[in-house]
Amino acid sequence: MSRIPKFFDDEDCPVREILDHVGDKWTSLILSNLVGGSLRFSEIKRRLPGISQRMLTETLRGLQRNGILLRTVYPSIPPKVEYSLTPLGESLVPLIQALVLWSLEHRSEIHDARSTYDAEVSAQEFGVDSAVIQTTTTNPRDKQKISHE
């Protein structure tokens, strides 16, 4: 595995700047929806429950600015606008899909780690020794059990 360059910690790092844009919650969902072809703004919004119009607009503009999306305006009344992936955007899709697959494969491990962490933090807040915390991992929806022995 290659090493990450030392300048990655620099605020002006180009890698960091790009990752800030392509690594956010909505970007990966927007790109995943555009894999099948062009979509209008309203179609994208309908496919992403919870995204505000403002957030969708800002995200689409940022992706367009970075060369990931193409915005096409068709001369009609009212104007028809579609968004599609550019070749650069298409090259990003396999990376996002790999991250999605990794997330799905490790979802239960991540859930267990979060539950353990949350139980330890709660125990510390209530003065319980974290060594007596027992985590149930058979069902990811099970709650933490804290024993007060």
User: Does residue 61 carry a pLDDT above 60?
Assistant: yes
Confidence band for 15, pLDDT divided at 50, 70 and 90:
confident
Q: How far is CA 83 from CA 21, 65, 134, 145, in A?
A: 17, 13, 50, 48
The mean pLDDT of 115-122, rounded to a whole number, is 91
Q: Which residue has the tokens 């058979």?
A: 138
To the question of pTM greater than 0.85 for the whole model, the response is: no
What does the pLDDT average to over 79-108? Answer: 92
Beta carbons of 100 and 32 less than 8 angstroms apart:
yes
* Whether the predicted pLDDT of 68 surpasses 80: yes
CA-to-CA distance for 58 and 25, rounded, in angstroms?
A: 13
| Sheet containing 39-40, strands listed edge to edge, beginning at the edge strand earlier in sequence | 39-40, 80-85, 69-74
Dihedral pair phi/psi, residue 14, rounded to 5° = -65, -35
